[in-house]
Each structure stands twice: as C-alpha cells, then as structure tokens.
Structure 1
C-alpha cells in the first residue's frame, strides 16, 4: 500500500467525532512502536517528521523507514512534515515523497503568513500533496521551535476563516492553550473550547489541528525521575480535554513529548537495573514496547480512532 493523503482520514474523523494521531518519528524503534500499536488497534495513522528529525536521521532514512512500515503493516499511513519554516523545506519534502506538509508561518504577521502559506499550497496541490497551516502561536519548546509565553497568541476565529479562504490550506493548526514541550501549564490546565467552537462554526467540516498536545503522562515522568532523571513539575494536556476537542472540529492531534518520555523512561530503567548492559537491543527493544503501549492507550482512550479502518 502506498502512502496516503490525510484528506479522507480527516473527513471520516470529522464525521465520526474522533481524531487521528500524528506521531513524531526520529528512528526505527519509534516508527515500529507506533505502527505496531496502530496495526493492533486498526487505526489510521499520521507519521510526522520535524526539521530536527530530518537533520538527525536524514530525509531518505526516515522515508525508507516509513515505506518499510507500509510494507510490513499494510496500514494507511500519511507522511507529514511538521513545522516547515519556509517554502524550501516544504518543497523538498513534497518532492521527496511526503503526502502532507505543514508550513508554519505563525511567526510572521498575518499578511506574510497568508502569502507564504498560499505559495506552499499552490506548489503542493500541483503535486497532489495537502497542506497544514498555522495561525496563532504556541508557547514552549520543540526542536527548533521556541516561543515564549508572552509571545504566544491565541488564534482569532475570524482571522482563521479569512486565512483558510485566502490560502486554500487543507487543515489549520490553531492556538487555544496547548504548548510544546513537557511543561505546558504552570497552574491549572486550560483549553479555550469556546474559541474552538467558534472556529468550528466559521469553518464547518474543516479539519482543525492541535499542536503541543501530549499529556506528559505522570507514570513516565515518575519513572524518569526514579531512575536518575530530573524532570520536576512537568505537566501536559489532560486526556479528557483532548478527547473533548476530538469530538469537536479537531481531526489531528500531535503527540511527541509523550513518545520521548516513554522511550527515555524505559531506557533509564533498563540501564539502571542492568548497569553492565551495553547491547543497544536490550534497552531499545523495551523502549519500543513502551512506545507501543503508550500509543495504544492514546488511540483507544484519547483519540477514539481504534477500529476506524
């Protein structure tokens, strides 16, 4: 089965009141853990690659890993560029086999963002690729994306409708309170569902995306800290909030930090309990299993996409 577009995925998700998980990948074990979980749960899937992942693993290696996952599982998988910062990286991924790209022009003023996004949309659509845009900015840190809280701006619903109309973008990432990294909230977690509802009314049947939507599951934070880590006070987006968003207009939920925590917690445990171990397979294997279990949990209990193939 070849890579697929997100168009049909999002249509079914919107109508069915669930979301598709978009999981960031960096190496073979992460890819395997994610796709094994999706296969077992019979869930559609988006594997996404950040600019940092392309620098780390190289574009060609990541594409070939995803192609291997397709051949191994037969799942419908979309390959997506996460946070493309300019036209050139989007073009490189479009030309290099991706079926979906994100152009993140959120750091620019509205008119510049519109122009940049429209440029990517025109090139992508001419090559059969869909485009995700972003309006509003998320606080936090993820790879090369670093936005301070004071610079984080919630998305204006009226601007969102204008942005979609003028750019022709296929989905839109909005800011309603999520943030990148493991420290998403200093106080009580909050998502602006009233803002999300208004966006949904102005853009009926249009897929909305949530970035920075890891839950920062306490079990993995605690395990990291138990085995020598130092991640105090980490807090993510509560799962009930994400499930509520998935029942509204949110069709794609990005998950990266939870993957990192699950993997790191498992590796820390293995190396601490077996200090003489130096075979990477002995700690990367359990880490892959930890990712699989975490992704299955997300698919069943948060995304609602289990059994949707």
Structure 2
C-alpha cells in the first residue's frame, strides 16, 4: 500500500514495535521525489509533511495530489502530514485535501483553548479517518518550553492520537534530549510521541527516544541545508535541469541517511 490515507494504524504499529518514522518537511517536487526515492531504496515508511508557509505557495490539495501520485508510482510507503497547523481552519483544509495526518499547534493559544480545539478536531479526524497530532509548546530556539507530564495527559484526554512533546529538541540546531522527562511523560500517557527539531538530535538520543515511545521524528533543517548547498554551488549554472537533478540527489542522500539513523543502522 504505497500511499496510506489514515496515519492512525501506522502510528499504532510503530508504537507497538518501537519503530521510528522519519517525517520530512518538503516544499518542492525535487524534495518530494528525492525523499520517495530514498524510501524506495531503503524499503522504508516515510511521512512527507507541509509547513503552513509552504502551503501559501503550494496549496494543500496540490501537495496531496503530488505526493499521492508519486507514492502510488513507487514501492515506498508514504503518508502526508500537516506540520504546525496554527488554526482549526488550516487543519480542516488539509483534512479535506486528504492528508493522512495533521498537527494542531496550540502554542499561541491559552491551554484551555488548545484543549477545546483538540477535542473538536478529534471528532473530525475520527470521522474522516486521519491521525491528530497535538502540541501546546514552542520548539523554537531560545523560546522552547518543556512539556509537563500533566499537560501531556490532558492533551491525550482531549483526543490526540500522537503528542508532540518538547523535551529538549529545538528547530534548526543540535539538541540534547531530556530522557528522564520523556520517560515520565510516556509513563503517564502511554501514547505515540513525536519529536520536532529532529535534524539536531544525536543517534544515541534517538535510540533511547524510540524505546520510550517516540514514533515520529521531524526533519527539515538538514534537507534545506542540502538544498541551499546545491543552489549556492550552481548559482551561475547555465542548465537549470541539471540543478534540479542535483538537488533531488542531494535530498535523496540526506533522506536515506536519516532513514538509516532512525533504524539505528550505520550510515557509512
């Protein structure tokens, strides 16, 4: 089943088997294709996710159709996901487009409002057949606030299928996980967990996190750095088609390495 329309069963199985699924932030056809090629090569399950600002240029319906068509033409197992959906309306748009999974990010809301919105979205995702990821904390450098076990439990009761927890990982930089806090959260919620800022998490921390119920690791910065490297080195290149091919190969290489790290395989 190359494209998976409902992420809930995938997350449940990963939780039971202590598996970690890479979730790649992608915003172009080269990135989508490169990640799917990496998943084919490694026979992996991957998640391709869209960030809200990317959806301003690449509408949810178009993103879904592109990923789904490429997935069905491949041997890889692929899900689609909304990353950091800041409003109920954005989450609903992606659900209508057919996303396998959506995140509601309540960072900017009062916690009670996040709980209320999560309860509403749980009813919708249950009806439409999609997974709901919920967070109430920031993962941005210098502004991150760690998730408490008490808050995590409240989010679970609000209907989250997966919880994005802030336990030390931050967007775009090397991070050290608070594994004791992660263990305490998992002991309270017994639910699949998600790590954001995965590009900077060490393989040792990932191995420990996987055994503590983390099933999804978000990876964006590593891909964007690879893409920027290609653009910078081909700034004056006369053949744009070669640039696209080189970009796709760079993305494939990084995605393959991250898949191997998630599996605790040696990358060289």
Structure 2 length as normaliser, TM-score?
0.92
Are 1:14 and 1:249, in contact at CA under 8 Å, matched by a contact in 2? yes
Choose from 142, 160, 172 the match for 2:163: 172
Tell me what 1:191 maps to. 177
Q: How does 1:226-265 map to 2 (within 5 A)?
A: 237-265=201-229
Q: Deviations over 1:129-185 (max 9, x none)?
A: 221000322123xxxxxxxx2x421000122112211x111000010111123xx35
**Counterpart Cα distance in 2 of 1:105 and 1:249:** 22
Are 1:43 and 1:305, in contact at CA under 8 Å, matched by a contact in 2? no
**Counterpart Cα distance in 2 of 1:43 and 1:154:** 31
Tell me what 1:303 maps to. 262
Are 2:19 and 2:263, in contact at CA under 8 Å, matched by a contact in 1? yes
Are 1:9 and 1:44, in contact at CA under 8 Å, matched by a contact in 2? no
Tell me what 2:254 maps to. 294
Q: How does 1:81-230 map to 2 (within 5 A)?
A: 81-140=82-141, 149=142, 151-165=143-157, 167-181=158-172, 184=173, 189-204=175-190, 206-215=191-200
**Counterpart Cα distance in 1 of 2:19 and 2:234:** 35
Q: Deviations over 1:214-246 (max 9, x none)?
A: 13xxxxxxxxxxxxxxxxxxxxx3232223212
CA shift for structure 1 position 305: 8.1
Structure 1 length as normaliser, TM-score?
0.80
Tell me what 1:30 maps to. 31
Are 2:39 and 2:77, in contact at CA under 8 Å, matched by a contact in 1? no
Give the 3 Å change call, closer, same or farther, for CA 305–115 of structure 1 in structure 2.
farther
Q: How does 1:12-31 map to 2 (within 5 A)?
A: 12-31=13-32
Are 1:22 and 1:48, in contact at CA under 8 Å, matched by a contact in 2? yes
Tell me what 1:233 maps to. none
Are 2:80 and 2:100, in contact at CA under 8 Å, matched by a contact in 1? yes
Tell me what 2:76 maps to. 75
Q: What's the RMSD between the two structures over aligned residues? A: 1.8
Q: Secondary structure at the match of 1:132?
A: strand
Give the 3 Å change call, closer, same or farther, for CA 104–69 of structure 1 in structure 2.
same
**Counterpart Cα distance in 1 of 2:5 and 2:106:** 25
